[in-house]
């Protein structure tokens, strides 16, 4: 029998994740909620690689992280580190693993990292927090500790439960930067060296700053002002106007278009149709589809249907730094 699959999601998005999974994989099996952002799929007929592929392709948008359940223990009767290590090593091949721990809610579960990590290292296994082919997940949820294992390429994220943590720094212009950094890292996006990018709804310039870090010359489109720290960069061109007026006058061909504007999914997607005429064939698009009211799943799907008139959708997911929105990655032509 296939091992149960543990999946994470935003606390408000459980019902959408369940609906997507059941639509993509119809049949009789059990899905249950274990905690604020953790669920379990059991007695299922499909392997985790098929579920991971559906998530990676954007057919399932509200699932953030996957692991295969290995064992569960009551918190008041936990095994010692060596016993945990024995259980893990019976399931995990190789001599190096990433150990990722978290708790239901906001906790990191750091004590479990040291409990298991120290025991594994004492047996000659290399342990890190990320960057390994195999991931061991330790999740404290309710009154139990659940241990899971999975290949990194089937986990959707190389962060505990998909909770990507990025450092705050004085150079940051806005919190929105985290969203663009996360999508680039999660999907392994490679922006073209020396490319030209347009940032729609740019002010105060957070996404523009990240695009510059990735070597892009950026046209920042927004009637609002950019942060003063960006104004001296000669490879940032601020167009203090609306996106529609910018495209009406533009003569530049872009390699990348990003859009984090505050408008509903369909309007934002239609703006990307206008952008398509200014994008090179094979150009990359990153857009957040926001809102959706009482039904963000169907709202996101309507936006993606519009995008598909000009683009091939590569990925679509509600990432850790998204709130009530979906980040879509697409390619033109």
Catalytically active residues are 290
- Provide the β-strand partners of residue 258: 199, 286
CB 313 within 8 A of CB 330: yes
For residue 130, the SS3 value is coil
CB 307 within 8 A of CB 330: yes
Omega of the bond leading into 204 within 30 degrees of 0 (cis): yes
CB 236 within 8 A of CB 220: yes
With a CB cutoff of 8 Å and minimum separation 6, the contacts of 96 are 125, 126, 127, 128, 132, 133, 134
Instruction: Give the distance from CA 249 to its chain's centroid.
Output: 34
For residue 38, what are its two tokens? 């953790």
Please tell me the distance from the alpha carbon of residue 199 to that of residue 219, in angstroms, as a whole number. Answer: 6
Please tell me the distance from the alpha carbon of residue 326 to that of residue 259, in angstroms, as a whole number. Answer: 12
Please tell me the distance from the alpha carbon of residue 81 to that of residue 117, in angstroms, as a whole number. Answer: 8
Instruction: State which H helix or E strand residue 135 sits in.
Output: strand 134-141
Please tell me the distance from the alpha carbon of residue 240 to that of residue 201, in angstroms, as a whole number. Answer: 10
What is residue 77's DSSP assignment? Answer: G
Residue 147 has a CB neighbour count (10 Å cut-off) of 23
Sheet bearing 65-74, strands edge to edge: 30-33, 38-42, 5-8, 65-74, 144-151, 134-141, 96-103, 126-128
């Amino acid at each position: 029998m296939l091992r149960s699959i543990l999946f994470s999601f935003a606390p408000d998005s459980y019902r959408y994740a369940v609906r997507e999974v059941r639509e993509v994989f119809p049949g009789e099996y059990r899905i249950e909620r274990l905690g604020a952002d953790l669920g379990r799929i059991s007695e299922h007929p499909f392997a985790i690689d098929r579920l991971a592929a559906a998530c990676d392709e954007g057919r399932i948008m509200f699932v953030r992280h996957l692991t295969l359940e290995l064992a569960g223990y009551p918190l008041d009767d936990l095994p010692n580190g060596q016993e945990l290590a024995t259980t893990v090593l019976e399931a995990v091949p190789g001599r190096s693993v990433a150990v990722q721990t978290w708790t239901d809610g906001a906790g990191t579960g750091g004590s479990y990292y040291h409990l298991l990590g120290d025991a594994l290292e004492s047996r000659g296994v290399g342990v890190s927090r990320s960057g390994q082919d195999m991931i061991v997940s330790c999740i404290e949820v309710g009154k139990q500790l659940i241990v899971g294992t999975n290949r990194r390429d089937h986990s959707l994220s190389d962060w505990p439960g998909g909770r990507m943590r990025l450092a705050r720094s004085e150079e940051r212009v806005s919190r929105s930067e985290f969203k663009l950094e996360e999508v680039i890292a999660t999907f392994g996006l490679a922006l073209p060296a020396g490319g030209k990018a347009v940032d729609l709804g740019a002010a105060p310039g957070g996404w523009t700053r990240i695009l510059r870090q990735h070597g892009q010359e950026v046209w920042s489109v927004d009637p609002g002002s950019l942060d003063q720290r960006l104004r001296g960069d000669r490879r940032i061109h601020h167009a203090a106007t609306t996106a529609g007026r910018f495209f009406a006058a533009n003569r530049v061909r872009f390699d990348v278009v990003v859009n984090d504007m505050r408008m509903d999914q369909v309007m934002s997607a239609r703006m990307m149709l206008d952008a398509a005429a200014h994008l090179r064939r094979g150009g990359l698009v990153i857009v957040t589809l926001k809102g959706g009211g009482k039904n963000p799943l169907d709202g996101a799907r309507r936006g993606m249907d519009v995008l598909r008139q000009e683009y091939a959708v590569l990925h679509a997911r509600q990432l850790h730094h998204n709130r009530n929105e979906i980040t879509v990655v697409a390619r033109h032509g």
